[in-house]
Structure 1
Amino acid sequence: MTQQDGSPSPRIDGEHRTSTVEQGRFCLARCTCGWRGPARRARSTARSDAETHAHG
């Protein structure tokens, strides 16, 4: 499950909890497992990165 533009929820039963974070002109995805996606200009691309990580 992806949360947009907020803090990630605690990891429950090995499930990855992702969120997107704004950093200046860029947005990146991050996960409670410690994974961070690349900085993207498009929020939708950062969200896609998060979905791929969580389900990949």
Structure 2
Amino acid sequence: MYERHTDEVPPTAPAAAPTGHEPTTTERGSFCTARCACGWSGPARRSRDRARTDAAEHLAAP
């Protein structure tokens, strides 16, 4: 399969955390995963909205 970049974190999330986090979501087949520049990766989700929520929660975490 292939991996493609689909979108950024929704605008309701903080613009950027001072620690250099830049989460995005990627799709692989029918699954969507949130990933961050810091190396964090969320679980694969069938729901794009839930993957975006995972990314927003990662930004909000201390």
Q: TM-score range by the shorter chain?
A: 0.7 to 0.9
- The reply to whether residue 53 of structure 1 matches residue 50 of structure 2 is no
Structure 2 residue runs without a partner (length 5+): 9-16
> TM-score with structure 2 length normalisation?
0.69
Q: What's the counterpart of residue 31 of structure 1?
A: 36
Counterpart in the other structure of 1:16: 21
SS in structure 1 of the partner of residue 34 of structure 2 = strand
SS in 1 for 2:6: coil
**Which residue matches 1:5?**
6
Give the structure with the higher percent strand: 2
* 1:22 aligned counterpart, secondary structure: strand
Moved over 4 A (4+): none
| Structure with the greater alpha carbon radius of gyration | 2
Local SS of the residue matching 1:48: helix
Structure 1 unmatched runs, 5+: none
